[in-house]
Amino acid sequence: MTWTKEDRKRWEAEHPDKLREYERRKAARLRERLGPEGMRALWRAKQAGRRNVMTSAHWAARTANVAAVKYGAPGRLVVADIRALWDRQPACVSCGNGRGVDHIKALALGGTNTPDNLQNLCPPCNRTKWHTERKAVA
């Protein structure tokens, strides 16, 4: 008999204790086969894969969108916007090293969260710009 995906899901829902026991035995066999060093290597490989799930472009878009909500700025960035920016400007426009995302007109000062208001500015240059803007406003 060939099981379909639905059959398997139904069986797993009806027999959680058997499924748990199967998974426990499977994990024990894996630990026995790999040993402590192999298990550590497997764990490190899984962690590396997890870190790559959310790239720096994801974080940049997410951070910009959270700030936009905080300051009530219009617009929403997606990962493609950040990648397009980094394709256009591969290095920091100020120092030529590193990369980051900066709103040309700050969100706190009425800027928009749109691709045309973005530039590639590394974190140190971004902080310098931020301090300069704060002094000008104050």
| Same structural domain, 117 and 72 | yes
CA atoms of 60 and 78, how far apart (whole Å): 9
**Interior angle at CA 110, CA 106 and CA 114, nearest 5:** 70
Task: Provide the CATH number for the domain around residue 78.
Answer: 3.30.40.220
| Same structural domain, 19 and 42 | yes
Please tell me the predicted confidence (pLDDT) of residue 54: 59
| Same structural domain, 39 and 86 | no
Give the global pTM: 0.59
| Same structural domain, 14 and 67 | no
Interval 7-16: pLDDT, tens? 989 999 999 9
Please tell me the predicted confidence (pLDDT) of residue 55: 73
Please tell me the predicted confidence (pLDDT) of residue 51: 55
| Same structural domain, 92 and 105 | yes
Look up the domain containing 26 and give its range.
5-51
Count: domains in the chain: 2
Please tell me the predicted confidence (pLDDT) of residue 44: 81
- The segments of the chain whose pLDDT lies below 70 read 1, 49-54, 137-138
Among candidate residues 101, 103, 112, the one with its CA nearest the CA of residue 61: 101
